[in-house]
């Protein structure tokens, strides 16, 4: 039975109100195909099948028969000229609603000679959102951390270690080989696994060059490919180039907690692991719910650091977000408030306008704490997203 993922289904319907072409992107096995099948009155075409590719060799003839229909073109990059097909549909067949799926941004594949600017809506399917855990049959947050956010992995009872390995191999064979010119399989996979193992840390290309047996420039190229295919998220530092700020080193996060745990060799989680993985989940919620990669972090040379920064271009305010796995069911002592506010205070000396959020998994209702001139608003993920959506 296909699970109805209402949040994503609503995003698709809203996107179709604006454009007849949707580019549904996300890593392989994240659930794009199942999501498409769960839609009502949909006709599905798997472009990996030779028969389907033959059917689509005459785009005008095919589209002329689809008037008023909703169709899915899964793995559309397998067509010889997918951008031409979608451009034709957007310009001349507005009554045909199309979801085209792929495992990268539209411009990543050399097959797409036109990125269809202005002709499509992009939707990014992320790993399972926290609100979706119940519909997939498990509300244990530790399970979500360890098994990750692929629906087919999440519902299993035993840790799917072999499937993690198989996915990494398939990613190389089906995504990298199809779309990019990457010659050294060992070096690329080694780099991807190292990034997952060191997920959430600051990135310096030269540290990876020697173990991966490639140049620093090649490491930079590998990172760009991993980002384009959503396997890592590069969170760049927020700065106005003040002398006291670190402005060069990004932080790199793995796309899914299950793969991070797998790369680290974690089969069981310790208490000290939870905060690190919670930070990944908060990032996933921001990216999925708000459909954005516009997330930064901040750090100064003294060591003060803010987990995530969201800028509001409408009123020049800057939202600071700190992630804490637990506040002991809402009890927040002076030491926690003081420790967080020191980082916030250092940031606010440079950027005074904006709200300061602390997001934790055990908060039922938002509440505030003050430390000097700093006000901290403690929220759960749901309330954080609601407030960020208003920014």
Report DSSP letters for 273-325, one per residue.
HHHHHHHHHHHHHHHHHHT----EEEEBTTS-EEEEEEEETTTTEEEEEEE-S
Residues 311 and 340 in one domain: yes
Whether residue 310 lies inside any domain: the answer is yes
Helix (H, G, I), strand (E, B) or coil at 267: coil
**Domain total for the chain?**
3
Number of CB atoms found within 10 A of residue 37's CB = 12
pLDDT, residue 189, reads 93
CA distance from start to end of the chain: 38
Distances (CA, A) of 281 to 40, 301, 364: 30, 27, 18
Evaluate whether residue 56 is within a structural domain.
Answer: yes
> Does 42 fall in a domain?
yes
| Interacting residues of 188 by C-beta distance below 8 A, sequence separation 6+ | 172, 176, 182, 212, 222, 225
Contacts of 63 (CB under 8 A, 6+ apart): 88, 89, 92, 93, 96
- Same domain, yes or no: 144 and 120: no
> Do 123 and 24 touch, CB atoms closer than 8 A?
yes
Parent domain of 356:
304-390
For residue 355, the model assigns a pLDDT of 96
SS3 63: helix
For residue 76, being part of any structural domain is answered with yes
Residue partners of 183: CB distance under 8 A and separation at least 6: none
| Phi, then psi, of 133 in degrees rounded to 5 | -60, -40
Domain edge (last residue) among 83, 99, 124 = 124
Position 286 in a domain: no
* In a shared domain, residues 16 and 119: yes
Q: Check residue 181 and give its pLDDT.
A: 75
Give me the count of residues in the chain.
391
For residues 146 and 233, state if they share a domain: yes
Residue 169: alpha-carbon gap to chain centroid = 20
pLDDT for the residue numbered 109: 64
- CA-based nearest residue to 318, from 371, 388, 227, 270: 388
| 76 and 113 part of one domain | yes
Domain termination residue (choose one: 102, 124, 146): 124
Q: Is 364 helix (H, G, I), strand (E, B) or coil?
A: coil
Report the chain (391 residues): mean pLDDT per 10 consecutive residues: 91 97 95 95 95 95 95 91 92 96 76 77 97 96 98 96 94 81 88 96 93 94 93 92 73 98 97 96 98 94 93 86 82 77 94 95 92 94 94 70
Is position 295 within any domain? no
Are both 120 and 151 inside the same structural domain? no
Please check whether residues 346 and 386 belong to one and the same domain: yes
Determine the pLDDT at residue 331: 57
What's the pLDDT score for residue 337? 84
Select from 68, 92, 124 the last residue of a domain.
Answer: 124
């Amino acid at each position: 039975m296909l699970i109805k993922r209402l949040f994503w289904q609503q995003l698709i319907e809203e996107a179709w109100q604006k454009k007849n072409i949707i580019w549904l992107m996300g890593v392989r096995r994240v659930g794009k195909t199942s999501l498409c099948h769960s839609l009502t009155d949909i006709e599905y075409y798997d472009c990996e099948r030779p028969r389907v590719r033959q059917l689509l060799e005459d785009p005008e003839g095919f589209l002329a028969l689809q008037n008023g229909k909703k169709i899915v073109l899964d793995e559309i990059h397998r067509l010889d000229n997918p951008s031409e097909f979608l451009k034709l549909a957007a310009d001349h067949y507005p009554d045909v609603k199309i979801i085209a799926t792929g495992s990268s941004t539209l411009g990543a594949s050399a097959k797409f000679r036109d990125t269809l600017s202005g002709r499509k809506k992009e939707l990014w399917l992320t790993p399972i959102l926290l609100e979706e855990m119940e519909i997939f049959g498990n509300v244990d947050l530790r399970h979500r951390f360890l098994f990750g956010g692929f629906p087919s992995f999440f519902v299993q009872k035993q840790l799917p270690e072999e499937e993690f390995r198989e996915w990494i191999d398939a990613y190389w064979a089906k995504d990298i080989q199809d779309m990019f010119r990457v010659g050294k399989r060992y070096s690329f996979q080694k780099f991807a696994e190292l990034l997952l193992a060191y997920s959430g840390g600051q990135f310096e290309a030269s540290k990876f060059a020697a173990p991966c047996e490639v140049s620093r420039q090649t490491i930079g190229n590998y990172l760009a490919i991993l980002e384009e295919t959503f396997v890592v998220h590069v969170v760049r530092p927020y700065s106005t180039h003040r002398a006291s700020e670190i402005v060069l080193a990004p932080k790199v996060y793995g796309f899914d907690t299950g793969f991070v745990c797998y790369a680290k060799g974690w089969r069981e989680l310790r208490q000290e692991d939870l905060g690190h993985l919670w930070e990944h989940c908060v990032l996933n919620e921001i990216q999925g719910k708000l459909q954005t990669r516009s997330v930064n972090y901040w750090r100064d040379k003294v060591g003060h650091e803010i987990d995530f920064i969201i800028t509001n271009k409408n009123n020049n305010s800057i939202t600071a977000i700190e992630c804490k796995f637990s506040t002991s069911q809402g009890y927040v002592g002076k030491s926690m408030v003081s420790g967080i506010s020191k980082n916030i205070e250092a940031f606010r000396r440079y950027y005074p306008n904006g709200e300061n959020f602390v997001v934790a998994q055990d908060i039922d209702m938002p509440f505030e704490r003050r430390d000097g001139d700093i006000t901290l608003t403690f929220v759960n993920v749901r309330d954080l997203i609601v407030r960020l959506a208003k920014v």
